[in-house]
Each structure stands twice: as C-alpha cells, then as structure tokens.
Copies of this chain bind each other. A is one copy, B any other.
C-alpha cells in the first residue's frame, strides 16, 4: 500500500497529519485515524483541543527552563526542596526520570539539548547563560551533572566543568557503573572498569 486512493479528502488530510509524527507511517496513521472515526465526537474534539491547548498555553519555567503550567514551575516553587543543589539535565524527559526515582529533593536546570558538533548544536544553543546567572546568585552549593554517558554527554559535562569550576560550587556527576540487577558477566568492559575505579565503601543493608 505505498500509494493509496483515499475515498475522502478529509480522511486523507487526517492521515497526512499523523504521518508528520515521528515513527508513524501511513499504515499506522490510517489505523489511528479510522480508530478516531469510530469514537464519539466528544472524544475526538477533546483529543484535538487538548493538543492545541497544550501547544498554545505551555510555558517554560523562568528559573530552570522545565516545562510548566506557570511562570515558575512547581519544583522551583516548592519551599521544602533543597534550593542549594541543582541537577543539570538535557531535557524535560530527564527531569521526569530523576523525579521518578524519588531519590532527589533538589532543583533542576534543563539545558534544552546537549553539545553535539555533529548536529550543529553548540554551547550557545543551550541554556548555559541562564545557569551561570543562577550560580552568580550565590545560593547554589552543588551542581550535579546528570548527563547521558555518551560522547556528547561527556563533552557537555567537560564544558560545564571548565566554565563553572572557579565558582564556589561543588560540581559532581552521577555514578556510572553496573546496572542494579545486572549479572557481572554481561556488563561491558568500559562500564565494569568504571565501576571498579569508582568503588564505594561496602555498607551491609
């Protein structure tokens, strides 16, 4: 079904919209549109209007650049959180991942990307100036770099370290090592090597 004669222009237009989404081909798009056609009008109206509302009303927190329904996001407004620790992440998905661990009670800074010369993304494309402004404020005592364990992540981390090392702030990075639940024989050498170098005191639990 590489070329399809659509019986309806409305149907074709809807399929064309779905095909714009990443990972959605024409067959899947048609399946999704036909599914929507079988739902009642209220459901489809809600579907469309919710997406339109999201795009038109969403804001980015003025402090940490996280996605937010308000000028300052819930996390930055929360008094009980540790405002002296900032976890630096690539995007809002990473904020959600770290929040999901329930292990972190500090604030965040969303870079909005990662330094990647291959993709033409340099430091000026990221919210690094905004991070510097927060550091100059003086309230921050520790920056935790929670970046991907990739070349781009390492490059970005190194760039941030060089830029901010003279501020009166501890710069740390998340631990790299063997995943919880992994059998040692299946861990790759780089990860296993790193986990030996970065060994921690044994604490019987």
Contacts and interface: CB of A to CB of B under 8 A. Distances in A.
Interface in A26-71: 28, 30-37, 39, 41, 43-58, 66-69
A35 B28 CA distance: 17
A75 B28 contact: no
A113 to B, nearest CB: 11
Give the copy number: 2
A10 B54 contact: yes
Contact of A7 (B31, B55, B66): B66
Interface in A105-156: none
B100 A10 contact: no
A110 to B, nearest CB: 10
Nearest to A99: B5
Interface stretch (A90-98, A171-179, A183-191): A90-98
**How many of chain A's residues touch chain B, expressed as a range?**
35 or more
A32 B28 contact: no
Given A20-B47, A66-B7, A54 B73 contact: no
Q: Is the interface of A mostly helix, strand, loop or mixed?
A: helix
A21 interface: yes
A55 B53 CA distance: 19
B13 A41 contact: no
A30 B33 CA distance: 19
A6 B68 CA distance: 9
A165 interface: no
Interface of A: 1, 3-11, 13-14, 17, 20-24, 28, 30-37, 39, 41, 43-58, 66-69, 73-75, 91-93, 95-97, 99-100
Given A22-B31, A33-B51, 15 more contacts: A7-B66, A7-B92, A7-B99, A8-B67, A8-B69, A9-B69, A10-B54, A10-B69, A14-B54, A21-B35, A22-B35, A36-B51, A41-B56, A45-B56, A48-B51
